[in-house]
Amino acid sequence: MENSDWFLIAGSNCAENHPIAMKYVLRAQAKGAKVIVVDPRFTRTASKADLFAQIRPGTDIAYLGAIINYILQNNLYNKDYLLNFTNATCKIKPEYSFKDGLFTGFDSAKKSYDNSSWGYVLDESNQPVKAEFLEEDGTVFSILKKHYSRYTLEMAAAVTGIPAATIKQIADTMAKGGTGSILYALGMTQKTTASQGIRCYGIIQFLLGNIGKAGGGVNALRGEPNVQASSDMANLSDIMPGYIPTPIDADTTTAAYGKRNGAFNQKHLISILKAWFGDKATAENDYCYNYLPRRQTGKDTRYISMLEDMVRGQFKLLLNVAINPLVSIPNNQVVAAALAKLEMMVNVDIFQTETANFWNAPGVKPEDIKTEVIMLPAAYLYEKAGSMTNSSRWIQWKTAAVNPEGETLPDLDILDLLFKKVRELYAGSSNPKDAPILNAVWDYGHEPDPEKVLQEINGYNMKTGKLNATLGEYLAAPVGEVSSGCWIYAGVFGNGNLAKRRGTKDPSGLGMFHDWSYAWPANIRILYNRASCNAQGQPVDEKRKLIWWDAFKGQWGGNDIPDVIDRTKGPDTPEGKPAFRMNAERMGRLFLAPFANRPVGAEIPTAVSAMLPDGPLPEHFEPVESPTGNVLHPNTSANPCAPVREVLKGKQDIGTSDKYPYVLTTYGGGTEQFCSGSLTRNLPWLNELRPETFVEMGAALAKKLDIKYGEIVEVYSARGSIKIKALVTERIQPLKINGKEVHTLGIPFGWGHIGIATGPGANALTHGAGDPAAGTPEYKATQVNVRKVK
């Protein structure tokens, strides 16, 4: 970050939530970098901005689309970069079109797309046909240009509330200001257009040639302390460790899985099975593949849907580890109803939480609740060893500082005890459904050793019995002869526990620090760094030289680990040219065309590119609850693929702006509070700083409603209502949206009925519709109304 010439911080309040990241932003700013902040509120981050724009929540794609259009119309794009590294000149099938908010292939009954018409035109060897010029008919580039021609500065201003001149200023700063970085977090992800919004960031940075460079990129600032590793290790239901797709019902064998997902993913899946079932996983039994649960096609298996299935009575037991859903999940009536349907809930937590205590929440009669609740007390951060992975993919080891207190145990020990006990209960069973539990490799020791877990994740070469020394060695080994619990981590334990390294050498001065811990994959510090070079393999930026092709030595080298397929292959070879080698087409994807790299006659493709379910290009959709219609396509106002939530009759309604005129945005509690509040509302020192919660509202609205600072008001949505103190502020100004005045309110979500400091949380008001790809709920933009409590 310190290498950046500009920052677009849009959807992140890093001054409060990522103060360490903010330190590098400020260091870059001191060296002349320009900081742009786009936020519905004037935050602490905004207070450091060179340029601040106040936006209506949930509308970023409108102004980002206008920036894409501005870059294209004014020839501000990096032509060499587009030609060398992206799919800009690839031809898309003539059947593809976009009309009235819908791409071709939409099925309105299923709310989903058949994406076959979005594909590339292929040549006889099944590769995308490329045009000679960017602007040729049918190229990705010309489709992009046409799609975003509707996104004028004026249209974007009317939708977002940001003045057209400010949007132009943002675009000019980004396009003419050198190499810059986009930082984001929840302000972009908690929406029904989340993934497509981040795609806008990708498209802009491709157009400007800013990915793969020191100081460039699209940078997600991750949330919970170790959430990067949680996602790496498949905390989500649709991915397995290392971001490989979870098998679905149609994938009856590993070969069938490979046919759909490519040989690359098939290998990693088999490596996981080898890690989990060891010698029991053989080629003859398809590596115990039938031990894996498979997802039902079309079934949403993500967290909110799981809670809804709980309401439907489909679960008996919930093992609730380190999460407080009664506070953090939208529309908490659904959560309460779900927990009440369980026979048993086991809470593994440090504190008594709202969730564990749901049976005794205000308004609930304990005698009505049949759920048995058990608490297993967990040890905290500094009481246990393990690795944590940061937003830069650095896997960093830590040791325990003190012993766990009282009867508390580290989570690993708790899960280890549970597993061993369960296995004891299954002993001797011949029921096939019990085989995975009986046959799993579980060898972390009597008192489980977290280093043994990292070794399993790193994986072994089964022939030599040695740990995989490097990622390269793992990739070169034949399928079935290597194990790895998460292939992207292969190499972290190659020569001892590299996550423990604390070397501070940085010879290039670019912040590479290769001897500090280990960055996945392969200790590469800047992903896609091949794109920092030109076609000849030489750095395009003398100040920020990352890697280069050394023709004399016949290999790639430089200041970072070269992110190329083969370091001995020249810049113009199929192995030395592509910068975005993880995509099946090995190009940066401005347009998401479904593509499987399938050599002619082969049954199993080598790789398959990932897709988003809701379109090949980002499009502006209004939030599911919105103060206005969609000016681009009134008949398709909200994202047509957004899930509908309807398990609890009358309690999951979607409100309209005539009854609920104000936009509500929600967020964490600022520096002094953490997430659902368990860790901070139980600490007297922090409670002094944050004794109670509030609704932020602009002075103009407060005046209109005759509400004074500190008065109690009722905020209500189509789903629920809370009474809360008004914090009247100039930080939120009214916006002019499509000719109408629109007011935004803000409420922190992390409050509840347990702890030293208690109060109402925002998730009594929110709804569970979310991003079709990620499932993240639209916490950041719902509609509410406010009245004074007399």
Ligand X SMILES: Nc1nc2c(c(=O)[nH]1)N[C@H]1C(S)=C(S)[C@@H](COP(=O)(O)OP(=O)(O)OC[C@H]3O[C@@H](n4cnc5c(=O)[nH]c(N)nc54)[C@H](O)[C@@H]3O)O[C@H]1N2
Among 61, 393, 49, CA closest to 201: 61
Say how many residues make up the chain. 790
The residue among 89 and 347 lying less far from ligand X, judged by its C-beta, is 347
Report in angstroms how near the CB of residue 327 gets to Mo ion at its nearest: 13
Distance of CA 570 to the CA centre of its chain: 34
Q: How far is CA 352 from CA 219, 367, 373, 392, 759, in A?
A: 35, 20, 11, 33, 16
Dmax over CA atoms of the chain, in Å, equals 82
Report in angstroms how near the CB of residue 223 gets to Mo ion at its nearest: 3
The answer to whether the beta carbons of residues 765 and 748 sit under 8 Å apart is no
219 lies in the binding site for ligand X (CB under 6 A): no
Window 134-173: contact mask with ligand X (x via CB under 6 A) = ----------------------------------------
Q: How far is CA 263 from CA 254, 268, 478, 479, 587, in A?
A: 10, 9, 12, 10, 19
Among 541, 559, 561, 558, CA closest to 549: 558
416 lies in the binding site for ligand X (CB under 6 A): no
Report in angstroms how near the CB of residue 211 gets to Mo ion at its nearest: 24
The residue among 223 and 594 lying less far from Mo ion, judged by its C-beta, is 223
Determine the residue type at 594.
P
Name the one range near ligand X by CB under 6 A: 139-147, 375-383, 489-497, 655-663: 375-383
Among 224, 372, 572, 646, binds ligand X (CB under 6 A): 224
647 lies in the binding site for ligand X (CB under 6 A): no
The answer to whether the beta carbons of residues 384 and 404 sit under 8 Å apart is yes
Report in angstroms how near the CB of residue 61 gets to ligand X at its nearest: 10
Report in angstroms how near the CB of residue 534 gets to ligand X at its nearest: 34
- Within 10 angstroms of residue 305's Cβ, the number of other Cβ atoms is 17
Q: Please tell me the count of residues contacting ligand X according to CB under 6 A.
A: 55
Report in angstroms how near the CB of residue 332 gets to ligand X at its nearest: 10
Report in angstroms how near the CB of residue 399 gets to Mo ion at its nearest: 26
Cis amide prior to 777 (ω within 30 degrees): no
| SS3 state at 422 | helix
Name the one range near ligand X by CB under 6 A: 548-556, 605-613, 710-718, 758-766: 758-766
270 lies in the binding site for ligand X (CB under 6 A): no
The answer to whether the beta carbons of residues 304 and 768 sit under 8 Å apart is yes
The residue among 558 and 623 lying less far from ligand X, judged by its C-beta, is 623
Report in angstroms how near the CB of residue 347 gets to ligand X at its nearest: 8
| Cα radius of gyration (the chain) | 26
- Residues between 76 and 135 with contacts to ligand X, criterion CB under 6 A: none
Separation between Cα atoms, residue 353 and residue 356, nearest integer Å: 5
Q: What is the per-residue DSSP string for 102-154? A: EETTEETTTTEE-GGGGPBPB-TTSPBPB-SSTTSTTBHHHHHHHHHTT--HH
The residue among 29 and 776 lying less far from Mo ion, judged by its C-beta, is 776
Name the one range near ligand X by CB under 6 A: 269-277, 321-329, 484-492, 711-719: 321-329
Where do the DSSP E strands lie in 209-329? 218-220, 239-240, 244-245, 317-321
Which pair of tokens denotes residue 125? 């060897």
- Residues between 209 and 268 with contacts to Mo ion, criterion CB under 5 A: 223
Window 23-62: contact mask with ligand X (x via CB under 6 A) = ---------------xxxx-x-----------x-xx-x--
182 lies in the binding site for ligand X (CB under 6 A): no
* Virtual torsion, Cα 554, 556, 559, 564, nearest 10 deg: -170
The residue among 353 and 559 lying less far from ligand X, judged by its C-beta, is 353
Which pair of tokens denotes residue 340? 């009440």
Q: Identify any residues that bridge with 139 across adjacent strands, giving them in sequence order.
A: 91
323 lies in the binding site for ligand X (CB under 6 A): yes
* Contacted by 666, from ligand X, Mo ion, none: CB < 5 to 8 Å by type: ligand X
278 lies in the binding site for ligand X (CB under 6 A): no
The residue among 13 and 529 lying less far from ligand X, judged by its C-beta, is 13
763 lies in the binding site for ligand X (CB under 6 A): yes
* Contacted by 674, from ligand X, Mo ion, none: CB < 5 to 8 Å by type: ligand X
The answer to whether the beta carbons of residues 586 and 573 sit under 8 Å apart is no
Separation between Cα atoms, residue 666 and residue 65, nearest integer Å: 25
Report in angstroms how near the CB of residue 198 gets to ligand X at its nearest: 12
Report in angstroms how near the CB of residue 110 gets to ligand X at its nearest: 28
Q: Which residue lies nearest Mo ion, judged by its C-beta?
A: 223
Which residues here bind Mo ion, judged by CB under 5 A?
A: 223
Which residues here bind ligand X, judged by CB under 6 A?
A: 10-14, 16-17, 38-41, 43, 55, 57-58, 60, 185-187, 190, 223-224, 321-325, 328, 348-351, 353, 378, 380-381, 411, 665-669, 671, 673-676, 678-679, 749, 762-763, 766, 779-780
